[in-house]
Amino acid sequence: MEAVSVRFISRAETVPLRRARLNPDLTPEEAERNAQGHTDAFQCGTFIGGTLLSVVTFHPEAVPSHPGGLSPPPFSHPWRLRALATAAGQEGKGLARLAIGFGLRHLFSTAPPGSTGVWLYGRAAAYGFYDRLGFSRAGLTFTTDTGPHDLFWICGPLA
């Protein structure tokens, strides 16, 4: 059985999985442009053997205001989690959990206590996943062209 590993990856490495799982209607060129990120972003990837099978991106971004729902604590250092994708046929093996766990450990290992939080907009199909990992959910569903979303956040590494 091939070994599972997780490490930092480049932005470019995330593009094929992002496109396949999140933006299948984009051309490769559009997907590349869509993945142009924040200069302070970092990306994590989970591999089985040498094959990259799950990706996630983190970058600093203020928590948006959504009146009418629960609000995340007022983080002084807010980070946004984006573009989480596991390769089709590889779900349920803990690969996304590993990628997110690696990124959160990196962020929270250097963060002053109480100052850093991570938020995201989750798709309805992934609500159960973020619940399972211990993210809090604001409960203020809104709809975009990719369907219903909710705001999630977490204030420390995965349990």
Ligand X SMILES: CC(C)(COP(=O)(O)OP(=O)(O)OC[C@H]1O[C@@H](n2cnc3c(N)ncnc32)[C@H](O)[C@@H]1OP(=O)(O)O)[C@@H](O)C(=O)NCCC(=O)NCCS
Contacts with ligand X by CB under 6 A lie at 21-22, 54, 84-86, 91-97, 122-123, 125-126, 128-129, 132
Residue type, 115: S
Q: Which lies closer to ligand X via its Cβ, residue 38 or residue 123?
A: 123
Q: What's the min distance (Å) between Cβ of 95 and ligand X?
A: 4
Q: Which lies closer to ligand X via its Cβ, residue 14 or residue 111?
A: 14
Q: Which lies closer to ligand X via its Cβ, residue 69 or residue 90?
A: 90
Q: What's the min distance (Å) between Cβ of 123 and ligand X?
A: 4
Q: Which lies closer to ligand X via its Cβ, residue 9 or residue 22?
A: 22
Q: What's the min distance (Å) between Cβ of 143 and ligand X?
A: 14
DSSP string, the chain: -PPEEEEEE-HHHHHHHHHHHH-TTS-HHHHHHHT---TT-EEEEEEETTEEEEEEEEEE-PPPP-TTS------SEEEEEEEEEE-TT-TTSSHHHHHHHHHHHHHHHHSPTTTEEEEEEEEGGGHHHHHHHT-EE----EEETTEEEEEEEESSS--
Q: What's the min distance (Å) between Cβ of 16 and ligand X?
A: 13
Task: Give residue number: closest CB to ligand X.
Answer: 128
